[in-house]
């Protein structure tokens, strides 16, 4: 049964504690100690969101740079594409730092007032908004280069992934640098692929603007069919451009075409499939 | 304790402890000792001596961390939070958990529970209803018992409970709802069993 303490007992209890405080030299922790702890937590939160944002910027780079429709088809379906080509490192880092943000936020002075879902969603939102900004600022390329350096070649960047996707001639995908291409459209040209192999490309079926793109783009992707060990029949040619370079490249290609002909007769940058149309 | 000290608010006392004299902390102890002792006895099965030890450690922690007190909170919420955490950490050390508590209910508290939305009707004797509620409270999950104790025995509002347990207010509302349901269910089981045994 609970007993109400009388005033004397209460005072004795208080005296005992005050004596203990004196005897054990208990001191009040200074304010700066708690302020520092709070600053460190917020610094860690900022750091976590920043790393998450960098991860998002690289994920955006992968999504925009790699021709997803082509890659999915060449991989044999979306699940296979995700299993082989998804940027796991960055997805892992994004998840990890969302958890770190949540954990640190929860330990701030007022962090407990917000629900976990709200904190996680807020963290994802912040990472995506800042990540999009970082992507346009070019941070994604820097992050990829850094990852390639520190991983000692284990990390495969979006550029290399794109090359690998476009280096499957048996699946109708080939890429490389066209050599000595004439301005006038010819029935064939020579291309050197990423491994240094020379290919004889039969180009009868390609459009004028695609031929012009061979002249303009330093590198091209080709959709078609492998005829023999070093002969490839092209039915589509895609200029190898970074997302930011496409408008300028389109302008250069159009400049090479006879007056009145626009590149958009068939969108040369956007590919829906890797099937050669009859 | 002088009359002047007893008229000061908690926040004014803290300011005096931090700037003038540490002895003012004695008034804080006197002010909260009974309330906290009662709260502790309700959430844990610790004996009187054990409760005093825990409370002493809690007050020393309160003293040490006075500069960490967030003035946006009620001082009482902050104090209850420290005591709550102290009880939990003591139980973790003793690996016994918070269970088998014996909760005493006075008439005022009984009416407070009944008149709320528990749908408990006093068909039998008040003494029996009280006994059922006590038993049911001892049987429900600790996390539910905690919120019920804070709401109906310590008379804390949602915000205070949220600040004491360090949970969002929405979570407290959910916990309270589930706690009421579980308590009602347990009371029904206990009263049914009692009726069948008669």
- Output the CA–CA distances (angstroms, integers) from residue A83 to A76, A195, A273, B12, in the order listed: 11, 25, 20, 63
Query: Distance from A269 to chain B by nearest Cα, in Å?
Result: 50
pLDDT (tens place) for every residue of chain A, 278 residues total: 333 445 566 688 899 999 999 999 999 999 999 999 999 999 999 999 999 999 999 999 988 877 777 778 777 788 888 888 888 999 999 999 999 999 999 999 999 999 999 999 999 999 999 999 999 998 999 999 999 889 888 888 888 888 888 899 998 899 999 887 777 778 888 999 989 999 999 988 788 888 888 888 888 889 888 999 999 999 888 888 776 677 777 777 777 776 666 655 455 565 555 556 55
- The size of chain B, in residues, is 198
Instruction: State how far residue A105 is from chain B, nearest Cα, in angstroms.
Output: 13
Predicted pLDDT of residue A122: 95
Q: Which residue of B has its CA nearest to A34?
A: B68
pTM over 0.90: no
Answer whether residue B77 shows pLDDT above 50: yes
Chain A positions in Cβ-Cβ contact with residue B167 (cut-off 8 Å): 112
Alpha carbon B100 to chain centroid, angstroms: 16
- With 0-12 CB in 10 A as exposed, 13-18 as middle and 19+ as buried, what is B28? buried
Mean pLDDT of B28-44: 90
Alpha-carbon distance values, B185 to A114, B69, B176 (Å): 31, 39, 14
What's the mean pLDDT in B133-155? 89
**Chain A contacts of B168, Cβ < 8 Å?**
112-115
Predicted confidence (pLDDT) at residue B97 exceeds the cutoff of 50 = no
- For residues B97-101, give the mean pLDDT: 52
Mean pLDDT (whole number) for B34-40:
91
Where are the extended beta strands (E) located within chain A?
A: 173-179, 188-192, 198-202, 220-226, 231-239
Are B162 and A113 an interchain contact pair (Cβ–Cβ within 8 Å)?
yes
Residue B108 has pLDDT above 90, yes or no: no
Q: What is the ipTM of this complex?
A: 0.80
Q: A109 contacts in B (CB within 8 Å)?
A: 70
Higher-pLDDT residue of A258 and B191 is: B191
How many degrees, rounded to 5, is the angle at CA A224 between CA A189 and CA A226?
80
Q: Is the pLDDT of residue B80 over 90?
A: yes
Which residue in chain B is spatially nearest to A5 when comparing CA positions?
B34
CB contact under 8 A, A21 and B60: yes
**CB atoms near residue A137 (< 10 Å):** 11
* Sign of the alpha-carbon dihedral angle for A57, A60, A64, A69: positive
CB contact under 8 A, A11 and B30: yes
């Amino acid at each position: 049964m609970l007993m109400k303490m009388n005033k004397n007992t209460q005072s004795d209890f208080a005296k005992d504690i005050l004596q203990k405080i004196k005897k054990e030299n208990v001191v009040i922790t200074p304010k700066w100690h708690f302020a520092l702890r709070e600053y460190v937590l917020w610094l860690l939160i900022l750091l976590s969101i920043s790393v998450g944002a960098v991860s998002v910027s690289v994920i955006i780079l992968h999504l925009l740079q790699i021709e997803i429709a082509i890659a999915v088809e060449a991989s044999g379906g979306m699940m296979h594409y995700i299993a082989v080509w998804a940027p796991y490192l960055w997805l892992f880092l994004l998840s990890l730092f969302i958890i770190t943000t949540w954990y640190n936020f929860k330990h701030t002075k007022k962090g407990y007032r917000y629900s976990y879902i709200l904190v996680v969603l807020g963290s994802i939102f912040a990472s995506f908004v800042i990540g999009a900004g970082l992507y346009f600022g070019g941070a994604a390329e820097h992050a990829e280069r850094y990852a390639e350096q520190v991983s000692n070649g284990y990390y495969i960047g979006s550029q290399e992934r794109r090359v690998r996707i476009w280096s499957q001639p048996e699946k109708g995908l080939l890429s490389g640098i066209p050599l000595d291409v004439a301005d006038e459209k010819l029935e064939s040209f020579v291309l050197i692929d990423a491994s240094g192999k020379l290919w004889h490309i039969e180009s009868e079926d390609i459009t004028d603007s695609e031929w012009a793109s061979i002249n303009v783009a330093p590198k091209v992707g080709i959709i078609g069919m492998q005829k023999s060990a070093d002969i490839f029949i092209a039915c589509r040619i895609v200029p190898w451009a970074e997302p930011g370079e496409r408008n300028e490249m389109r302008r250069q290609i159009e400049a090479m075409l006879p007056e009145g002909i626009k590149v958009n007769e068939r969108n040369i940058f956007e590919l829906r499939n890797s099937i050669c149309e009859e | 304790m002088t009359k002047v000290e007893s008229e000061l608010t908690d926040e004014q006392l803290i300011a005096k402890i931090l700037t003038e004299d540490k002895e003012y902390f004695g008034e804080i102890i006197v002010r909260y000792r009974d309330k906290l002792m009662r709260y502790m006895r309700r959430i844990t099965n610790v004996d009187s001596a054990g409760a005093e030890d825990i409370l002493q450690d809690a007050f020393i922690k309160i003293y040490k961390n006075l500069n960490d007190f967030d003035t946006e909170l009620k001082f009482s919420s902050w104090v209850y939070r420290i005591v709550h955490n102290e009880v939990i950490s003591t139980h973790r050390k003793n690996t016994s958990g918070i269970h088998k508590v014996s909760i005493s209910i006075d008439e005022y508290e009984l009416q407070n529970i009944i008149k709320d939305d528990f749908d408990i009707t006093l068909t039998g004797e008040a003494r029996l209803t009280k006994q059922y509620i006590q038993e049911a409270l001892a049987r429900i999950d600790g996390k539910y018992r905690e919120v019920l104790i804070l709401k109906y025995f310590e008379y804390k509002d949602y915000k205070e409970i949220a600040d004491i347990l360090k949970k969002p207010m929405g979570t407290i509302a959910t916990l309270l709802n589930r706690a009421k349901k579980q308590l009602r269910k347990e009371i029904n089981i206990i009263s049914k069993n009692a009726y069948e045994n008669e």
